[in-house]
Every structure is written in structure tokens, then in C-alpha cells.
Amino acid sequence: MQHRFAGIYTPIVTPFDSHGDVDERAILANVDRYLASPLTGLVVLGSNGEAAQLEDDEADRVIAVVRERVPNDRPLLVGTGRESTRATIAACRRAAAIGADAVMARTPSFYKPQMTSENFIRHYTEVADASPVPLLLYNVTMYTGVNLLPDAVEQLSGHPNIAGLKDSGNDMLQIGDYLARSTPGFTVLAGAAPTLFTAAALGVHGA
């Protein structure tokens, strides 16, 4: 079974200059180094990319700068997670218009008591329905304080526009459950370096 977006992706940082503005020259210097390696593709505006600190216009400019340099044979994954479904959809549409090959949306997290599997399923289904490009779920519990459970992933994995999941946690039992319960062809990426080899042994499709 072919897994779309399988492979190794570098989550790039977003450098800033001494005035606190996005440093485009530094971004391109980093991108050139990454492109000199056999990496599958790049992730921009992930948790390493300071996404939570950027205004929408800054985020859009980062995508544009990187897309101009990254060739079309290297997938560009763009973080688009926001607290509301509407804002997440808007970010997905902007990223797609700029040239994202796929979008990666973290779990909403502010209203933690309401962050149930049922509500995650509703949120991600609406985002996937509206996104012009494939969606990857993004579970990064260390920052959000919420967890996307395997029962939700199992149901979401059947959506035709949800291509996979990146999990940046260290719970190998949960990653194993994702792999066992998701629809064939659903890509599971590991996002935690300390447990990458263990996750690879379990059968993840990349990182």
C-alpha cells in the first residue's frame, strides 16, 4: 500500500532579525542547506517554525519565500492549525493558494474540557472538507496539553482528504494503535527525535 507523504521532512525554524522581523535571507540559507540533502521535503510553520508567534501576513510570507526556493518534486507541508475551525480553514486555503502541497493542523486546545474525540472529529472533518490540499493531523501534546486519541484517528483516517498524521509524542503504544487502526494508505509520521528509531521499528512511514 502506497503511503502519500511518507518520508523524512525537516521542520524548519523561522529566524528573526534584530528588529524582530522574519529574516528571509536566513530562511533561504537554511532551506538551501536542507535541499542539498536527500530529504523528502520540508515542513514550515510547525512548532519549530514559531507558528504560534506569527501574524497571518508573516506566516503567508514565510510560505511564499520557502515555496519559491523549494522545487516541485520536494513536498512542502505547511502548519495551519488555529484555535477555531473557521480560522484553520482560512489558513489552509491561504497556504494552498501560495503553493503548499499539504497542510498540517495541530489540535485546538484552549477550551480543554471540550477537546473530546467527538469534537476533534467534527473539527478535522470540516477542515478536510474545505481544504484545497490534503490535510495531515498534528498531535503535539507537549505544547497543546490535549491528546488526539486513536479512536478519533481511526474514524478520521477514512476521510478522502486526510492523508495522515504527525505525532510528536513519546507514547509508542499510542503510535502503534494509530498504525493498527487507521485506514490502509494513511500515513503516520513520528515527530519526536528521542523515540524515532522505536517508532520506525513499529512501522511508521516517516518523520
- Dist CA 110 CA 101 (whole Å): 28
Confirm if 164 and 187 have CB atoms less than 8 A apart: yes
C-alpha pair distances (Å), 206 with each of 44, 69, 194, 202: 17, 23, 14, 11
User: Tell me, what amino acid is at 67?
Assistant: R
Q: Could you give the residue numbers annotated as active site?
A: 166
